[in-house]
Amino acid sequence: MRKVIIVKAGNTLPALIAGKGDFEDWILSGMQADGKATVVDARDGAPLPAYGDVAGVIITGSHAMVTERQPWSERVAAWLPGLIERQIPTLGICYGHQLLAYALGGEVGDNPNGREYGTLAVYLEEAARDDSLLGGLPDPVEVHVSHTQSVLRLPPGARRLAHSERDEAEAFVVGETAWGVQFHPEFDAAVVKAYIAYAAATLRAEGQDPDRLAADAHDTPFGPMILRRFLQIATGG
């Protein structure tokens, strides 16, 4: 049986790993994968799966930056267009969102509006109305974010699906089966609060209030809903 491949692009904070697991664990849990997904660590040099062997692909977040162009990241970037050409369902999350945009000819760099952390409102575009991943969600939809870099220019042919007050490209789609989401559908409130605490000094230096961001953080059902939808798209469930 072909499975959804979670391409691991990084690790979360050590304290979170010890207590709650890592990015891929949260994705598997949110999807309710039930044996339909497996993890490949992109950083260990192992071959990426053959296109015909995968039902879909999710690229995780990372503390690396796409603009660093690390060799493992460039290898994944070179592999991604083949997924789109074959209409294999693909979902890039945060780093994965940026890497997908970069791989397809978009531009990634530091968000000119500063870092974006917390539970926030993401506003859906008209193009999201009938989208199979984001369609039917409330507008705005509340999700968790934690990032420094952003997609500054969408790749050719991409359609913007969502934006926030600080980021013009919170979500996009290429074709009908390849999405990037800057937000973290796998995060819960505890995770996003840990990231706010981790970045508190930098956020204060930018004029943001990490105490308020932490106080406003709360669980929402929409991240897991998006992950489950993606699994259904990829596996035909």
Number of domains the chain contains: 1
Encoding tokens for residue 28? 């598997």
Q: Assess whether 63 carries a catalytic annotation.
A: no
Q: Could you give phi then psi for residue 78, rounded to 5 degrees?
A: -70, -25
Boundaries of domain holding 45:
3-115+147-187+221-235
Q: Assess whether 186 carries a catalytic annotation.
A: yes
Residue 16 has pLDDT above 90, yes or no: yes
Q: Cα separation of 169 and 11, whole Å?
A: 24
Q: Assess whether 147 carries a catalytic annotation.
A: no
Choose the catalytic residue: 94, 97, 144, 170. 94
> Where on the phi/psi map is residue 45: left (φ > 0), alpha (ψ -120 to 50), or beta?
left
Is residue 75 one of the residues assigned to a domain?
A: yes
Choose the catalytic residue: 24, 116, 168, 186. 186
84, 124, 115, 23 alpha-carbon torsion, rounded to 10°: -50
Give me the helix-helix angle, 222-235 and 23-31, nearest 10°.
80
Is residue 216 one of the residues assigned to a domain?
A: no
Average the pLDDT over each of 41-45, 160-164, 186-190 and give the range with the smallest value.
41-45
pLDDT of residue 52: 96
Residue 204 has pLDDT above 80, yes or no: yes
Encoding tokens for residue 49? 């799966």
For position 75, which CATH number holds? 3.40.50.880
The predicted-structure confidence for 82-137, as pLDDT tens digits, reads as follows 999 999 999 999 999 999 999 999 999 999 999 999 999 999 999 999 999 999 99
Is residue 228 one of the residues assigned to a domain?
A: yes
